[in-house]
Structure 1
Amino acid sequence: MKLASIVRLHNRFILTLLLMAIFIWSLFSIKWNTNLFHSGGIPTLLQILEGLIHPDLSPDVLLLGFESAWITLAYAVAGMSLAIIYAFIVGILASGVLTSNKTSRILFKVFFRGILGFTRSIHELIWAWLFVAAIGLSPYAAIFALAFPYGGILGRIFADMLNDVSEEPIKALKSAGASKLQTLIYGYLPLVWADMVSYTMYRFECAIRSSAIMSFIGLGGLGYQIQLSLQDLKYDRVWAFVFFLIGLVIFVDIWSNFVRRALTERKKQGGFSSGWRSVLFTMLLIFGSWVYINLGEHAQFFELFSAKNSEAAKRFFGGLIGLGSDQPAFLDRDNWQAALKLTLETLEMSIMAIGFATIAAFFTVMPAARNIANGKLTGSRKWYNWFLYGVVRIFYIFSRSVPELVWAMMIIFIFKPGLLPGAIALALHNFGILGKLWAEVIEDMDSRPIRNLAASGASKIETLFYGILPTVLPRFLTYILYRWEVIMRTTIVVGFVGAGGLGMDFKLAMSFFNYTQITLLLLCYMILVIIADFASESTRKAVR
């Protein structure tokens, strides 16, 4: 046991050094000089900061903000409602719990997990571009663009949850003569239902941010208003709409906490009525969203199958596979070389982004942990601990509430187009998420060894390096790798506004209707995602 522990510590140390070396390697892709900035970059930064301090809170802007926030929320709710249906059905099939023998179980897992993997590997904004090209500027383009990737993510998690169910209660049901469907309804689902709902609510918070950037394809919402304000250089309005987006994320976070609390307190007195209130509110929100989309946005579902849309979809998807093209880009060697070069740049951008986010989170996570602020972990209570806790937590909320694309659109006014503004935009968004996750890891750790270390005279630095870090480092590394997977999916999005990598070429290919080039870039993008999944999974196994 002792030898195994030493081997794990050795692996973690080697892995940490390797990750640091890879991050330093990525920095050499940038020419660090004054040419990184626009000539008016610093004055623009000051104007953006002035808009942050003095946002436009005029009645017209506030009214427009509330209207746009509702549109963003309605799209997110409608998209997630479809995603849940898709994830529930395909997730159950991908788990293999309804199969009768080992061969069919393997076939079901491979086929349906492949479907889930494909739909979640493509970013929601890419799906939005594809659906707009196929069915036009309909709200259903944004709704389907949210439903596909989030359904893929949820379906994969649902399948894993079902596979992790303990076999004892399932065997008891089977021995009593229960069918596969009865085993699912009375065995599997009751054991994982609470976890399914809890994770769905977490993903819904992410869907709000995704819904906001759906607006950048031309549909209404907060993202659309932020984009218009940035184009008009009205930074005070930009921050006003950003604050609405932050408020929307906080609202969903509070709603999510109520739902989770209702699930955990279901068996206690009063928990059942609390649960029903949460369910009723959710049903009303879903109903209201679909009513608004059909009546307020005048979006009719059956119009999607009109002859005009069918012809457009046939022309678009036919173009993707090279129909009517004499020399498809995905069969051209020179195009592949250029695309693979962009793929390498995108990989470097993602590594820089997670590196910057990790450094920022590392230097802020200690004050952000509640058990450090109240002194329960270290036994030291200082008057400024709660002040630092509040300030850092506000930064975390602010950082993660603003989508990467919004950060990129502002940063591109300061830096010249390239990998650096994209990496900074991705890092700013993920810094808040990573810091929050890390702080929760510290809050959940056993405080007794740390307090004993502090009581024996260890300084704060010694307590950090010899007490806290050895305990939390494996979880920290796991979250770093998890966020890197997410960043890899998002790198293509920040490229839409000139942040470099595959995204810039993808947007150009869409603008010039170069469909075979789009296919080539999507193939490169999926290669990146597969590499990230494989590297992340292999690394996680090494630190266990």
Structure 2
Amino acid sequence: MRLAPPLLLLAPALVLLPIALALPGLLHGGGWDLVGQFLLAAVRPSRDPLVLASALQGLAVTAGMALLGWTASLVLGLLLGLASSRTLWHTLAGTPWPAQLLRRLLAIPRSIHELIWGLLLLQVLGLQPAVAVLAIAIPFGALVARVVSDLLDALPTTGLEALRAGGAPGPAALLTALGPPLLPGVISYGGYRLECALRSATLLGVFGLGGLGTDLKLTLQSLQFDELWTGLWLLLALMLLLEAGIGLLRRRWGMPQRLGLASAGVGRSGRELLLALLLLIPLVLAVAKGLEVTPLALLHWQPLPPLPAGGWEVALALPWPGLVGNTLLLTLLAAGLAVGLAPLLLLLVAPWPWGRLLLRLAWALGRLWPPPLTALLLLLVLQPGVVTAALALGYHNLGILGRLLLEASEAAGPERQQALASAGAGPRLALLYGRFSGLARSYLAYGAYRADVILRETVVVGLVGAAGLGSQLLETLSAFAWDQLLALLAVYALLTLLGEDLSDRARRRLLASA
């Protein structure tokens, strides 16, 4: 027996049952009035000129760190992606084994969240904007490298083999045969990573690395909700403008012409892309100068404290089963909430046209609102623990998955939904069977990938006492227990790599059945 696609789509929402059972025991009455003040401040943010100037300055720093980290990750990712491509090594050297070795090495920086990189680099380089830039560039570069190498290896090699048989040298044949079809995928994924870089720069600011994230955390902790919403609305405006601009460029540069690849259209897109790259160089240099990010600053390392005596024994004595178990439980709860709630909420608001508008706004806030700040808000009314952390992570990822599902359902076309509605089906059933049924497996495939991302993100909600690896890792880092830290990083990296493998298998299976 197999679940029908509509039921398969809603199955992850079953995690609502254990969460609903656990919530009454976690509630406390200490902060409901503060939650009301927080929500009320959303419609009357501070318009004080000093507050606006401070928020704009913090937003500029966050956007600058995101731009520099994104640019560095793209350059790093393209170079490493080419170097880890089996097709490239087989063409140039006749053997793919160097690509396999480099892929395995790149899995290590990819498995460690940018927050961990930021906190580690903070201990070595001190507090400076370059720390946030590197913290974004290292894991993002490894992620871009993986995507570029996968895209390159998935391209058909018939044209490449024909050029090689005609006597063309290897590099020229690779560039001619595989460069143009690779470009749309790189543009599309590169735009997505810029959105992620902005969110990551905000998150790093929450943990003290500067920018608007630091201001948001300070205003939340001091209960200055009107000032907090001033910064949050500005961040939302920038995020929406960025998403709209990236979508426009993706459609203009990353997609083939409808009536074939007309030479005029391709030439125009190529010239526009080259012009954008040329304009990006002085912009990046100006931002780096404004933030005082220089390569020379990375050469001044601070000495680390010595390893404590008997630290390895303490590391071995950590409650590993509980730490790993709570981390996996947190991942499953947050992933179930994010994947299952998106279609469920869309079905609930299906009869009301304004419902989707409210969901879009709530999901946009969820995408940019850092999970640690959501966790701090939840602590006003909930006790710390795994469920509280899962709600914070689930809301953030719900914003990402909800946007994806909404865009995919709108692109699917209304014909089947209209046919079911004309036959007498209600608006919810027409939406479920008319649009969601065909999207179920591809949406769940992306949900499997998102679950792997959530496993990495469990570290960012360690401050709410989730009692998992993330909480223990942040506590160990603050105590400078480097031996325990290395052990925790090794276990964390192993878990994320296993999760990545499982999500890849689930994704391939779902897409194959779709």
Q: TM-score, normalised by structure 2?
A: 0.89
Superposed counterparts of 1:450-489, under 5 Å? 450-489=417-456
Alignment-mate amino acid for residue 203 of structure 1: R
Partner of 2:147: 157
Superposed counterparts of 1:59-208, under 5 Å? 59-100=49-90, 105-208=95-198
Alignment-mate amino acid for residue 327 of structure 1: G
Alignment-mate amino acid for residue 157 of structure 2: E
Partner of 2:325: 344
Q: Are 2:318 and 1:327 aligned?
A: no
Match of 2:224 among 220, 223, 234: 234
Separation (CA, whole Å) in 1 of partners of 2:355 and 2:29 = 36
Separation (CA, whole Å) in 2 of partners of 1:367 and 1:416 = 29
Superposed counterparts of 1:349-364, under 5 Å? 349-364=330-345
Separation (CA, whole Å) in 2 of partners of 1:473 and 1:239 = 36
Match of 1:519 among 452, 473, 486: 486
Partner of 1:379: none
Instruction: Give, in angstroms, the shift of residue 478 of structure 1.
Output: 1.2
What are the Cα deviations for residues 245-273 of structure 1, in whole angstroms up to 9, with x where unaligned? 11221121122123223314695878866
Provide the secondary structure at the position in 1 that maps to 2:84: helix
Q: Are 2:24 and 1:33 aligned?
A: yes
Alignment-mate amino acid for residue 376 of structure 2: M
8 Å CA contact retained: 1:339, 1:520: no
Partner of 1:393: 360
Separation (CA, whole Å) in 1 of partners of 2:113 and 2:220 = 23
Alignment-mate amino acid for residue 516 of structure 1: D
8 Å CA contact retained: 1:493, 1:503: yes
Task: From the superposition, tell whether residues 454 and 19 of structure 1 become closer, same or farther in structure 2 (CA, over 3 Å).
Answer: closer
Alignment-mate amino acid for residue 206 of structure 2: F
Partner of 1:287: 282
Instruction: Give, in angstroms, the shift of residue 284 of structure 1.
Output: 3.9
Separation (CA, whole Å) in 2 of partners of 1:86 and 1:178 = 28
Partner of 1:376: none
Separation (CA, whole Å) in 2 of partners of 1:45 and 1:92 = 50
Task: From the superposition, tell whether residues 283 and 123 of structure 1 become closer, same or farther in structure 2 (CA, over 3 Å).
Answer: farther
Partner of 2:203: 213
Instruction: Give, in angstroms, the shift of residue 287 of structure 1.
Output: 2.8
- Give the number of aligned pairs: 506
Q: Which segment drifts farther, 55-64 or 248-257?
A: 248-257
Instruction: Give, in angstroms, the shift of residue 342 of structure 1.
Output: 1.6
Match of 1:305 among 299, 323, 326: 299
Query: Structure 1, unaligned stretches of length 5 or more?
Result: 1-6, 373-381
Provide the secondary structure at the position in 1 that maps to 2:89: coil
Separation (CA, whole Å) in 2 of partners of 1:515 and 1:172 = 54
Separation (CA, whole Å) in 2 of partners of 1:54 and 1:17 = 37
Alignment-mate amino acid for residue 528 of structure 1: L
What are the Cα deviations for residues 295-328 of structure 1, in whole angstroms up to 9, with x where unaligned? x33343213223xx1x62xx47xx6xxxx55434
Provide the secondary structure at the position in 2 that maps to 1:97: helix
Provide the secondary structure at the position in 1 that maps to 2:167: coil
Query: Structure 2, unaligned stretches of length 5 or more?
Result: none
8 Å CA contact retained: 1:91, 1:155: yes
Task: From the superposition, tell whether residues 393 and 332 of structure 1 become closer, same or farther in structure 2 (CA, over 3 Å).
Answer: closer
Q: Which segment drifts farther, 356-365 or 9-18?
A: 9-18
Alignment-mate amino acid for residue 246 of structure 2: S
Separation (CA, whole Å) in 2 of partners of 1:506 and 1:332 = 11
Partner of 1:507: 474
Separation (CA, whole Å) in 2 of partners of 1:334 and 1:359 = 37
What are the Cα deviations for residues 127-182 of structure 1, in whole angstroms up to 9, with x where unaligned? 00111111111211111100011111111111111011112211221111122211
Separation (CA, whole Å) in 2 of partners of 1:56 and 1:275 = 45
8 Å CA contact retained: 1:80, 1:204: yes
RMSD: 3.1
Task: From the superposition, tell whether residues 367 and 271 of structure 1 become closer, same or farther in structure 2 (CA, over 3 Å).
Answer: farther
What are the Cα deviations for residues 437-480 of structure 1, in whole angstroms up to 9, with x where unaligned? 11222223354444443333333344345444432221221122
Instruction: Give, in angstroms, the shift of residue 498 of structure 1.
Output: 4.1
8 Å CA contact retained: 2:449, 2:500: no
Separation (CA, whole Å) in 1 of partners of 2:342 and 2:168 = 50
Provide the secondary structure at the position in 1 that maps to 2:209: coil
Q: TM-score, normalised by structure 1?
A: 0.84
Separation (CA, whole Å) in 1 of partners of 2:383 and 2:188 = 41
Match of 2:410 among 434, 437, 443: 443
8 Å CA contact retained: 1:453, 1:467: yes
Provide the secondary structure at the position in 1 that maps to 2:88: coil
Q: Which segment drifts farther, 10-19 or 233-242?
A: 10-19
Percent of aligned positions that are identical: 27
Match of 1:44 among 34, 40, 51: 34
Q: Which segment drifts farther, 143-152 or 424-433?
A: 424-433
Greater RCO (Cα-Cα under 8 Å, separation 6 or more): 2
